Amino acid sequence: MRTVRRRIKARKDETDGRRRRGDQARITVLERAMDVASVDGFEGLTVGSLASDLGIGKSNISALFGDKETLQIKTLDASVGVFIENVITPTQAEISPIKRLHRVCSGWFDYVERRVFPGGCVLHAAINEYRAKPGALRDKVSSYRNNWKALLERTIREAQSAGEIGLDHDAQQLAFKLIAFQAASNTAALLGDKKYFSLGRELTEAAIAEAANGPRMPSPRSGSRES
């Protein structure tokens, strides 16, 4: 039985002992499943290998998670929950949209660098695994990707409304750049290319700084953005 990290919190209000133990078992399985999915992919998840990894009966895992697809979906949901908890939640108290944008992006780099998941960013992993495989998992992944895009675009637009980013900047273009830098930095980190990972972080900072009003002059170029 391998050591399992704790990224998922147990329900605090659970006083019934039997339900509390069920909750603990659910978390133990999910923690291990998230690591397996992060490295081997969600298709690599099986009730059998989780059971032997954890020394838990297959029937217990099936009782908690149902079939393979349900296990995959619950593992994806739990992984995205950990992503949100690590990258998004800590920024939400920040009132300034541009500072929130900056924090959520630097938080993304920290989360990959700290290896919250052994296979890097769970969202990029899942997007790449299911990009060409129609089905329930791809639909879920696609909707999570849209939420991440929407969060970045919305934050940029809020910064524009707050006068922190000029209205001549295109929110969708800036969000695309940030997501693209994350995609390339994620694989760089995992392939041990520290130089490229740092470059991704620097270019992210620079793209936000360029968009922000401040000591830096707004760029006079129009070709690199939509009018």
**Amino acid identity at 104:** V
Least distance in Å: CB of 11 to a second copy? 31
* Tokens matching residue 213: 């009003």
- According to DSSP, residue 121 is labeled -
CA distances from 194 to 90, 113, 116, 200, 206 (A): 25, 10, 17, 10, 18
CA distance 195 to 111: 17
- According to DSSP, residue 117 is labeled S
Residue 41 interacts with a second copy (CB under 8 A): yes or no: yes
- According to DSSP, residue 212 is labeled B
Residue 131 interacts with a second copy (CB under 8 A): yes or no: yes
CA distance 58 to 51: 5
Least distance in Å: CB of 2 to a second copy? 16
Residue 180 interacts with a second copy (CB under 8 A): yes or no: yes
Among the listed residues 120, 148, 155, 160, the single contact to a second copy using CB under 8 A: 120
Residue 150 interacts with a second copy (CB under 8 A): yes or no: no
Residue 15 interacts with a second copy (CB under 8 A): yes or no: no
Nearer to a second copy, 46 or 128 (CB): 128
> Which single residue is written with the structure tokens 């006068």?
163
Residues that bind a second copy (CB under 8 A): 38-41, 43-44, 118-120, 124-125, 127-129, 131-133, 138, 142, 145, 149, 172-173, 176-177, 179-181, 183-187, 190-191, 195-196, 199-200, 202-203, 206-207, 209-210, 216-217, 219-221, 223-226
